[in-house]
């Protein structure tokens, strides 16, 4: 199927961008991946279920969220095209997830399950290197995200998000952005109004 071939070709480019790999090995690796379509508002993962996907968003947009002690949704982040996606705590421990992952748009995922990933690690050391680089990038990004949301005031958090994630500003509902920035909807609306009025 043409669409599936396009998805796997895109995956090849993703792998080639981080590591050098023999073409035959690369073909063998990507052939282990599966494609899955998730309709807008459908769940990729629900709290209490076990995460069994490790891969990338090919097209679309998903949101990860958890519930606070007061029952409110807290947005952990949003992942769009070419973004790496798994729920690490559940996936690697093969345990119940504490996180929900839902599609904000019609989404296509390319992924492997836990067993296939372990076999890829064993059979292709260069793929394990690829995964390590992914983890390093994700860990650094997560740490930077935590620091700016803790150290900056509400307005600075918003401006930082606008600067670093302009595409998400156009595609993610503001209530989810407010949740991610750990501010109320009304505070975000007020900051946006003041920011727009202050622009020349």
- Residue 78: domain span: 2-125
Q: Rounded to two decimals, what is the model's pTM?
A: 0.90
Give domain status of residue 150, yes or no: no
Q: Give, in order, the Cα–Cα distances in Å from 22 to each of 12, 110, 184, 195.
A: 11, 21, 50, 51
| Domain count of the fold of the chain | 1
* Closest by CA position to 102, among listed 82, 83, 79: 79
Q: Which pLDDT tens digits describe the chain residue by residue (200 residues)? A: 447 788 889 999 999 999 999 999 999 999 999 999 999 999 999 999 999 999 999 999 999 999 999 999 999 999 999 999 999 999 999 999 999 999 999 999 999 999 999 999 999 999 999 999 999 998 998 888 889 888 999 999 999 999 999 999 999 999 999 999 999 999 999 999 988 766 55
The answer to whether residue 196 is domain-embedded is: no
Residue 106 maps to which CATH number? 2.60.120.10
């Amino acid at each position: 199927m043409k669409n599936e071939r396009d998805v796997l070709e895109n995956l090849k480019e993703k792998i080639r961008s981080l590591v050098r790999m023999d073409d035959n090995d690369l073909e063998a690796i990507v052939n282990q991946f599966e494609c899955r379509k998730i309709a807008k508002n459908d769940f990729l993962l629900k709290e209490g279920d076990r995460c069994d996907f490790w891969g990338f968003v090919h097209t679309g947009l998903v949101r990860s969220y958890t519930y606070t002690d007061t029952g409110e949704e807290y947005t952990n982040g949003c992942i769009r095209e070419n973004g790496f996606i798994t729920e690490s705590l559940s996936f690697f421990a093969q345990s119940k997830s504490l996180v929900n992952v839902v599609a904000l748009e019609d989404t296509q995922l390319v992924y492997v399950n836990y067993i296939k990933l372990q076999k890829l690690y064993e059979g292709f050391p260069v793929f394990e290197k690829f995964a390590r680089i992914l983890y390093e990038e994700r860990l650094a990004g997560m740490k930077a995200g935590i620091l700016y949301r803790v150290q900056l005031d509400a307005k600075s958090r918003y401006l930082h998000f606008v600067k670093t994630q302009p595409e998400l500003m156009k595609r993610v509902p503001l209530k989810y952005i407010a949740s991610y920035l750990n501010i109320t909807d009304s505070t975000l609306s007020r900051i946006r109004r003041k920011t727009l009025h202050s622009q020349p």
